[in-house]
Amino acid sequence: MTIAIYPGAFDPITNGHLDITTRAAKLFEKVVIGVYDAPAKDILFTTEERVDLVKQSIAHLPNVEVESFTGLAVDFARKAGAQTIVRGLRIGADFEREFEMALMNKKLAPDCELVCLITNPKYQYLSSSLLKEVASLNANVDELVPKTVAAALKKKVHNKP
Ligand code: ADP
């Protein structure tokens, strides 16, 4: 079975992430989204909340699952039985970072391949960090994230001290 992991912070999942996930789900028999269980710094949603938002956003994709993970992505890939790591590439900074990380991952796990999918131009400018910034300034983000995420963001931002 061809299995891929798609690791990231997903704080929160956006339509850009969902586009990559949907396309990866056509290339692999199973895709496991790995929500990085990162230390709290700069993270708006807890790991549990991020996993939950991903779960709700991928409910219509039968061959996609979600799990949280700590440590190396290549170890998470091994644990999931995956041969491939999927990442999304936006123009600019993503390339340098992905290239560097791919070389390191290749060193750590030579049998693990990286597949980068080029972003849909519609979501080129979309990052979770910019999304959180504009959402905190009351921007309407309905076209940038799944419905449940938009609602969760509104709630989170308004509950903030
Ligand atoms: P970010 O905070 O930049 O959204 P993540 O760690 O959540 O970062 O991203 C996980 C993966 O999804 C990375 O490979 C990232 O490049 C990719 N990604 C993030 N946003 C988009 C987007 N708008 N289009 C395509 N890929 C994306």
CA distance 125 to 139: 15
Q: In this structure, is residue 82 part of a structural domain?
A: yes
Ligand 1 pocket, residue 45 CB under 6 Å: no
CA distance 78 to 88: 20
CA distance 160 to 105: 38
Ligand 1 pocket, residue 34 CB under 6 Å: no
Q: In this structure, is residue 25 part of a structural domain?
A: yes
Q: Which of 17, 19, 31, 57 to mutate to test the pocket of ligand 1 (most atoms within 8 A of CB)?
A: 17
Number of domains forming the structure of the chain: 1
Q: In a structure prediction context, what are the per-residue pLDDT tens digits for the chain, which is 161 residues long?
A: 999 999 999 999 999 999 999 999 999 999 999 999 987 678 999 999 999 999 999 999 999 999 999 999 999 999 999 999 999 999 887 899 999 999 999 999 999 999 999 999 999 999 999 999 999 999 999 999 999 999 999 999 877 54
Q: In this structure, is residue 24 part of a structural domain?
A: yes
Of ligand 1's listed atoms, the one at least distance from the Cα of 15 is 23
Tell me how far apart the 2 most distant CA atoms of the chain are, in Å: 48
CA distance 157 to 28: 36
User: Ligand 1 centre and the CA of 39: distance in Å?
Assistant: 18
Q: In this structure, is residue 78 part of a structural domain?
A: yes
What are the catalytic residues? 17, 41, 90, 128
Q: Whose CA is nearest to atom 27 of ligand 1?
A: 88
User: Ligand 1 centre and the CA of 101: distance in Å?
Assistant: 14
User: Ligand 1 centre and the CA of 155: distance in Å?
Assistant: 23
Ligand 1 pocket, residue 8 CB under 6 Å: yes
Q: In this structure, is residue 143 part of a structural domain?
A: no
Tokens of 42: 């700069």
CATH number for position 35: 3.40.50.620
H helical segments located in 3-146: 15-27, 47-57, 73-80, 93-108, 128-136
**What is this structure's pTM?**
0.94
Range of the domain at 69: 3-124
